[in-house]
Structure 1
Amino acid sequence: MAPPSAIEVTAESDTSGITIPNPLTAPIASNDIYGRRRKAGKSQWGVAAASDTANFRLRSYENKPKAKRWNHIISQEALIRKGNSLKEAAKFLVTPGLISLGGGLPSSEYFPFEELSIKVPQIGHFSEAEMKESGIMITAGKHDLAEGKSIFDIATAFNYGQGAGSAQLLRWMTEHTELVHNPPYEDWKCTMTIGSTSALDMALRMFTRPGDVILSEEYTFSAFVETARPMGVRVCGVPIDAEGLLPDGLDHILSTWDVNIRGARKPHLLYTVPTGQNPTGATQNGDRRRALYAVCQKHDVYIIEDEPYFFLQMQPYTGPNAPDVPPPASHAEFLKSLVPSYLSMDVDGRVLRLDSFSKVISPGSRIGWVTASAEVVEKYSKHTDVSTQNPSGISQLILFKLLEEHWGHAGYLDWLIYIRMEYTKRRDAILQACAKYLPTEVMSWKPPMAGMFHWMQIDFTKHPDYPEKSIEAIEESIFFRNIEHGTMCMRGSWFYADAEEEHHTLFFRATYAASPTDKMDEAIRRLGESVREEFRLGKYAGAIENGH
């Protein structure tokens, strides 16, 4: 797919070969990024260099409000953690002429790597076939920084670093956050993570204590529940509809919370996956998010906004035989089409946003970042300095070469538009298969607008053995019938926020992210057969005609 025609791509940088769109009508024009960089002069960040992401922001935020303070909900563990005093000494490394005998950093001459080369797609030629044919080799040398070839190299990236991550890549993340979200308060910052699952673990340790209850969708990311449980923290499910969390449901739970009945203090933390939610695929629209944010303000609830699927917002679904909706014509149109994030409306600094490359670049990179108020980011960074340390230097260097020196901000947006169109095709394929094979007399679904998951409801009340056969038994029977037929979908009960609550629904989750479309089609056909057998509905008419 070629870059949007409204964008003129040239190369200009304070390092080398950075793509600059002109013009990019976004919250901030991409040109402003490189103009600010040129004004600041060349950057010279060496090994374990300290950085302040406030210095990477493009606008002055002096006239915006400061974030609220959160000491009243931050855990004692996080309050007393002092961080790594040895790493804090890194701020002195910028002293001219300083010879450091301080940090226990090995000499790069003993790193058995001289050069790293990777083949990546040209902008606008993103498919696997195109990359094989016309991909570009990009190379990182061991001493590119000293030789003036780049601001990041093997000698720097492969050594110890700050828990916040390298300044070189963190600058790109901060600029990207401002381009897309432009947080509306003064003291926001970014810090790197080793992926959102680790970040979530640290966030829960920062904001909870044993006995607490966290609010979340009534069906939620199972790893979140499993992370909270060993901490002695329970999850309270909030009612949802096809667009996710219900503001009235959230307000009702908080307004009627009885400490004696619930056995826990009133919740002060909401965890949500607002875009392409896992497992339901639901996406909260802008009005829904604003209403939920207002409820959180009313009850002083802090929000963890987990957004791995934010850029997997797809084209509208128009039906099985309708023509494709054309892709966004420009970066500006693409950015405008995105649902506004909680971060973009966060006037209080009550949002910790988790961003990740796992769903749009590679989960194996184990690189992401969080955005929050300076107070929260400081607590988070102190934790990383004494636990996970810095994210993988190898991954950071590869992502830097791709995102900063090869694609730039404009090229990355082109890639995200490409990914959107690819996932739209996959989503449409699974929906067409469902319409063709699934027994609609007992199954129903809503087209997902984002993410990787298709959430299918089964009307258990129409099962010939219900109520003698329980919902759980029907679900289990369908699951194992499906396995016998040679396919697998996840059981909805595995995603209960609170498994002890009584539930009166039956769902299965399918993903359209990985399997080829012909395999997806066959898998859905097998699922349909499994459900028909379980409900004794008889074979699908097309199966009889085709001899299945």
Structure 2
Amino acid sequence: MGNLAGGLPHNTYFPYDTLEAMTALPERFKPTPNDPRDPPTDGLNKLSVSDKPSTNRILVPHDSTDKNTLRKIDITTALQYGTAQGYPALYTWLRQFTNEVYHPNIPYEGGAEIILDCGNTDGLSKVYEVFFNHWDRDRDWIREREGLLVEEFAYSPAVGGTAPRDVNIVPVAIDSEGMLAYGKGGLLEVMENWDFSKGKRPHLMYTVTMGQNPTSGLLSVARRKEIYKVCSEYDIIIVEDDPYWYLQFPSANALSMKFRGEPISQNSPPADYKYNDPAKGQKSSGFEFLDNLVPSYLSIDTDGRVIRLDTFSKTVAPGCRLGWITAQPAIIQKLFQVTESTTQQPSGFVQSLVAELLVGPHDESSGGKGGAKDGSGWRAAGWVRWLEGLRGNYERRMNTMATILEEGKFYVETADSNKRISLRKSKTGISSSSGSLSDISDSEDTFSLVTKTEMYTFLPPSAGMFLWLHVNIFSHPLSKTISPQRLVFALWVLLTQPPYLLLITPGSSFSPTPAIAEEKGYRYFRFCFAAIDEDKLAEKTKAFVAACRFFWGLRKRKDIDRILRDEEDEEVDGQGSTAFKAFLGGELGQEVAGREEEDMEFRMKMGHMC
């Protein structure tokens, strides 16, 4: 039949004859053990462990001979207009993988449906489009205003994405795991005591439950069940943003036990606990690595109220702009309608290359070449092995950073018998005398007093790519004469100056409301151990420790003034520089975006690098 109906360009006019790439094999990186109590020699004590360089060439042909449209991977189909569901070969593979391997215990009949998107930010935007009405404070009744439940510290673009609809942001208290179901500030208290003068009672929750950004918390199954119960009672849709699911670190509890003598959470099961256990009536994923991971909210979604966002951003590359949404079919149908009229399917270039890598050609005669050595795709086994290797290297990075910070968190002062204080630091804080207890002489003739001050506290990251550090600013000797906000700002500025040259994200960037930013957000820093080059990770972590030791040794107000000299030239309403206001967050920090160029550069330098 001759097609004179569709407005399609002819595939022979595409300027690409093939798409080719050299790619890794799944075994490139070595995993870390699921049970770290007795790791192998190279299991956790090296920053990165790789096998011999392993590469393979993949090829997307111009025309595949495969007649099955659900398997075909070629330029002719991938670069043509497609359906909003996603490229058929990749969509089909991901749908099966999601229901049978990632989430084999979804409780509702028929399992979940999926739709491909342009990454989790795009997916979340479409969820907002489906579930939020636009609200105008100059036109609409307050009772019609929508609300979004979020963690007390949250991924800022997810919060910012609600601004065009003027959604009411409703923070929920968190602990070391993540969101609280009960207790002060917990979900139940928020819902039971809802103030309708602020708008509708919220019916949508945004949450990052694995490697929570920024706190790195890992929500236990027990806590999930508590939260789900409240959500069922108040009809709350759970949007689970989960880019870090496979980055769960069994060694985090071991680190916590080593340095604190207690686990990160009392809900933490043994490191080798199996969640998908056939002996308990559950289906196994078929992979020990996945069975040992804390499962998604989907595993307890008896009501069909969970929308899960997955992405290739952390497993392949952020520039892919490729991910998928998993939910009950009725919700996916609504998202399909939004996708048809907005982005349509993701990039055909990206989908075909990822499909060739994972799925591969059906047989050698089809003309393509997949990501495995034999020319087939990685398939499920290869993909899971790749995730294991990624987890391994990120876990090693986490251990490196956390151990250095743990060993350097105390500022030590010593005094001799004449009461002369020795601050145990050089001019910059970087010296052979580190200020640890091991540096202090045992001679009673020399020292009679040792004072230890804990400069910061944190928990080893249970998952994800971040470490959330609390600055104990009230332990600083100048905290009674200088505001804590200004002191923390001075520390942050000091870190950016020689010899430290270190950039970390202020906690105010993750404060979903100005009130949280002003009350306590400024007291936190978020470190990312994922992006920095391996040979710089330990060096820059030690630089942070050295900067803190130098900073805690400052005893005069003029020392703080000197650090902030270049940052406080411009005052705003007599209340501090634009840079200082931006650091603290809140409305004023956002309003200064249009001011002088140097302040814009400063804000861009320290901004929401999430």
TM-score normalised by structure 2 residue count? 0.67
> Is this contact kept in 2: 1:302–1:350, CA < 8 A?
yes
Pick one of 237, 241, 265 that aligns with 1:302: 237
How do 1:266-415 and structure 2 match up within 5 A? Answer: 266-317=201-252, 318-319=254-255, 332-405=287-360, 406-415=377-386
* 2:96 aligned with 1:159: no
Amino acid at match of 1:495: F
Amino acid at match of 2:547: S
* Shift in CA distance, 239/467, structure 1 to aligned 2, threshold 3 Å: farther
* Shift in CA distance, 304/314, structure 1 to aligned 2, threshold 3 Å: same
* 2:249 aligned with 1:232: no
* 2:165 aligned with 1:241: no
The aligned counterpart of 1:144 is 64
Higher CA-based Rg: 2
- Superposition deviation, residue 344 in structure 1: 1.4
Amino acid at match of 2:74: D
* 2:506 aligned with 1:491: yes
The aligned counterpart of 1:180 is 102
User: 2: CA distance between counterparts of 1:140 and 1:102?
Assistant: 28
* Shift in CA distance, 348/467, structure 1 to aligned 2, threshold 3 Å: farther
Pick one of 24, 30, 34 that aligns with 1:121: 24
Pick one of 83, 101, 116 that aligns with 1:192: 116
The aligned counterpart of 2:591 is none
- Superposition deviation, residue 186 in structure 1: 2.7
**Could you report, residue by residue, the CA deviation over 1:474-529 in whole angstroms, capped at 9, with x for unpaired residues?**
33222111111300111011100112345246111101102234412221222223
The aligned counterpart of 1:102 is 5
* 2:479 aligned with 1:451: no
User: 2: CA distance between counterparts of 1:305 and 1:273?
Assistant: 6
Question: Unaligned stretches of 5+ in structure 1?
Answer: 1-97, 539-548
The aligned counterpart of 1:542 is none
The aligned counterpart of 1:37 is none
CA root-mean-square deviation:
2.6
User: 2: CA distance between counterparts of 1:326 and 1:351?
Assistant: 27
SS in 1 for 2:108: coil
Pick one of 182, 186, 193 that aligns with 1:256: 193
* Equivalences, count: 436
> Is this contact kept in 1: 2:29–2:393, CA < 8 A?
no
**Could you report, residue by residue, the CA deviation over 1:134-155 in whole angstroms, capped at 9, with x for unpaired residues?**
4221211101146899611011
Pick one of 388, 395, 400 that aligns with 1:424: 395
* Shift in CA distance, 339/133, structure 1 to aligned 2, threshold 3 Å: closer
> Is this contact kept in 2: 1:354–1:371, CA < 8 A?
yes
* Shift in CA distance, 402/259, structure 1 to aligned 2, threshold 3 Å: same
Amino acid at match of 1:371: T
Amino acid at match of 2:148: I
User: 2: CA distance between counterparts of 1:239 and 1:205?
Assistant: 26
**Could you report, residue by residue, the CA deviation over 1:285-331 in whole angstroms, capped at 9, with x for unpaired residues?**
11111111111111111110000001111232334998xx9999x95
- Superposition deviation, residue 100 in structure 1: 2.6
SS in 2 for 1:360: coil
**Could you report, residue by residue, the CA deviation over 1:435-476 in whole angstroms, capped at 9, with x for unpaired residues?**
233336121110111100001111222233335533432332
SS in 2 for 1:190: strand
> Is this contact kept in 1: 2:255–2:460, CA < 8 A?
no
> Is this contact kept in 2: 1:242–1:282, CA < 8 A?
yes
Pick one of 2, 5, 15 that aligns with 1:112: 15
The percent of aligned pairs where both chains have the same amino acid is 33
The aligned counterpart of 1:441 is 454
* Shift in CA distance, 326/225, structure 1 to aligned 2, threshold 3 Å: closer
The aligned counterpart of 1:203 is 127
SS in 2 for 1:236: strand
How do 1:26-41 and structure 2 match up within 5 A? Answer: none
The farther-off stretch of 436-445 and 374-383 is: 436-445
The aligned counterpart of 1:216 is 150
- Superposition deviation, residue 129 in structure 1: 10
> Is this contact kept in 2: 1:311–1:360, CA < 8 A?
no
- Superposition deviation, residue 132 in structure 1: 8.2
User: 2: CA distance between counterparts of 1:327 and 1:429?
Assistant: 25
**Could you report, residue by residue, the CA deviation over 1:360-397 in whole angstroms, capped at 9, with x for unpaired residues?**
11111111000112221111111111111210001001
The farther-off stretch of 279-288 and 183-192 is: 183-192
- Superposition deviation, residue 216 in structure 1: 0.7
> Is this contact kept in 2: 1:315–1:421, CA < 8 A?
no
Amino acid at match of 1:197: T
User: 2: CA distance between counterparts of 1:311 and 1:453?
Assistant: 14
The aligned counterpart of 2:551 is 534
**Could you report, residue by residue, the CA deviation over 1:345-368 in whole angstroms, capped at 9, with x for unpaired residues?**
111110110000111111111110
User: 1: CA distance between counterparts of 2:339 and 2:548?
Assistant: 47
User: 2: CA distance between counterparts of 1:252 and 1:146?
Assistant: 57
* Shift in CA distance, 530/123, structure 1 to aligned 2, threshold 3 Å: closer
The farther-off stretch of 358-367 and 229-238 is: 229-238
Amino acid at match of 1:508: F
- Superposition deviation, residue 131 in structure 1: 8.7
- Superposition deviation, residue 272 in structure 1: 0.2
**Could you report, residue by residue, the CA deviation over 1:167-211 in whole angstroms, capped at 9, with x for unpaired residues?**
110111111211221321135310000000111111112112223
